[in-house]
Structure 1
Amino acid sequence: MLAFAASSDISQLHSQITALINMPHGNGAEIPVVRTIKILTPAEQLSALCAEPELSIAGNNTRLTGNKSVVAQCGTRRKFIQISVHAQGTWWTAKHPLKPGSVITADDLQARTGSLERLPAGLIFDQQQIIGKTTTRSVSRGQPLAENQLRKGWAVVSGQEVDILATGKGFQIRSRGKALGSAAAGQPLRIATRSGQIMTGEVDPQGYVKINLKE
């Protein structure tokens, strides 16, 4: 197992870690973010590495910037390499103040590009994942849009008359009822039928409520 021999090895290690840190890790392969790294571990400590270590990120890699650890596996031996990560990207801000309960349109958004160093966690980089969402709090002009400020728009609002599709073994029943709360598509919703029965179903994207009577 050959060890690192020269600065060219460290340069190759830098390239490998950079590629690793820029791989998608559950926060969207399409996000327009480029991360760069600086190796903090002294070069003399890196000389103990094998020539082709197996690299992986220690812990959660969803945080875009900050200090991280990279695991370098050489057979049964493991070494932790300390790095700092910087990121550049394009994110979306509020073009003007938004009140709680506002349904966001493209005209409410403005793009910003630069360092992500001091920006909040949970930024949404895909504009289409913001449009149509509803604000859960006030958002000031120029403030970045993040996941904890938004929710899906309600497909059904409390008190609304809704169509009910109840499905059982070999049959379907269509009826009407009243929503006892508000819910987005795919969320559970309690409804009161016209006979006064309280049931729970799932809101369909088209706005009706599905109830499974097979269970």
Structure 2
Amino acid sequence: MRILLPLVLIVIQGTTTALAAAQTGPDDIVGAGRAFMERYAGELESQGLEAEYALGSLDPRLSLAPCDDDQIAVEFSSDPMQSTQPSLLVSCEGERPWRMYLSVSLDIYGDALVAARPLNRGDRISQSMVTTERIVVNAIRQGTITRPENLIGLELKRPVRAGTPFTPHLVTSPDAVSRGDHVMITARSKAFAVRTRGKALGNARVGEQVRVENLSSARTVRARVVAPGQVEIAM
């Protein structure tokens, strides 16, 4: 026994060391997260965006069940375009599955349309009111407007300062019909449509209801605005 005992201890110690080496540790998880973020940054670059990120740290004592590299999955737990502090969900689908979160700080830089000067509520946006700046687009939860054709002609809901990024919540479609405007009234059924001229008795946007006066009969009816100067009545 005096001879065998040291050998048994060596075998047990060697097995314990091998099992510890097989565990998934913080370096493995951070490495998987870094590889995922590098791929994501490459996808953003192909879209004209630039990403700067820093992964969070993990407890060095962390030890999870073994997981082959091809079984480790990484994904965002929330939309990275709406937060600068998203988390990565790292998981293993092996024989002993596990899941955990890895924090990440993420700034996504991109060109966005911003106010070229101070603007007032109700201003209808023209090209001269707009300029382009490089901003952290995911710091704006409402999302930014990046294409001029999606902005020009819209109306501001509130005053803004110079440099304010335009967001969908900041603008609205202007009235397509204003009080006193002459409009074309279309009375439509499945079989036919009748058109006549009328006068708007209020303001309304496309899709809204407005009272109009039929200039031929002097009757007042409610109609739905379908386009600037165009209203429709269902028959």
- TM-score normalized by the length of structure 1: 0.73
Q: Is the aligned partner of 1:146 residue 2:167?
A: yes
Shift of 1:92: 2.3
What is aligned with 2:19?
Answer: none
Gaps of 5+ in 1: 25-29
Alignment check: 8 A CA contact 2:75 2:89 kept: yes
After alignment, is 193-202 or 103-112 more displaced?
193-202
Higher fraction of strand: 1
What is the one-letter code of the residue matched to 1:66? T
C-alpha distance 16-157 of structure 1, shift in aligned 2 (>3 A) = same
Shift of 1:66: 2.1
What is aligned with 2:133?
Answer: 112
Shift of 1:139: 2.2
Q: How does 1:162-173 map to 2 (within 5 A)?
A: 162-173=183-194
Shift of 1:48: 5.4
Q: Is the aligned partner of 1:72 residue 2:94?
A: no
Alignment check: 8 A CA contact 2:79 2:86 kept: no
C-alpha distance 118-78 of structure 1, shift in aligned 2 (>3 A) = closer
Q: Is the aligned partner of 1:56 residue 2:75?
A: yes
What is aligned with 1:27?
Answer: none
Structure-2 separation of matches of 1:156 and 1:91: 31
Shift of 1:172: 0.8
Structure-1 separation of matches of 2:134 and 2:100: 36
What is aligned with 2:49?
Answer: 33
What is aligned with 1:191?
Answer: 211
Report Cα offsets for 1:70-123 as digits up to 9, x if no partner. Answer: 223433643222222112122222222222222212221122224457667433
C-alpha distance 84-57 of structure 1, shift in aligned 2 (>3 A) = same
Q: Is the aligned partner of 1:13 residue 2:33?
A: yes
Percent identity over the alignment is 20
C-alpha distance 118-12 of structure 1, shift in aligned 2 (>3 A) = closer
Size of the aligned set, in residue pairs, is 204
Structure-1 separation of matches of 2:63 and 2:200: 63
SS in 2 for 1:66: coil
Structure-1 separation of matches of 2:73 and 2:28: 18
C-alpha distance 3-210 of structure 1, shift in aligned 2 (>3 A) = farther
What is the one-letter code of the residue matched to 1:42? L
Alignment check: 8 A CA contact 2:187 2:194 kept: yes
Shift of 1:151: 1.2
What is the one-letter code of the residue matched to 2:34? H
What is the one-letter code of the residue matched to 2:100? K
What is aligned with 2:18?
Answer: none
Q: Bigger radius of gyration, 1 or 2?
A: 2
Shift of 1:55: 3.2
Q: Is the aligned partner of 1:125 residue 2:146?
A: yes
C-alpha distance 202-117 of structure 1, shift in aligned 2 (>3 A) = closer
Gaps of 5+ in 2: 1-21
Structure-1 separation of matches of 2:87 and 2:54: 12
Structure-2 separation of matches of 1:70 and 1:79: 8
- TM-score normalized by the length of structure 2: 0.68
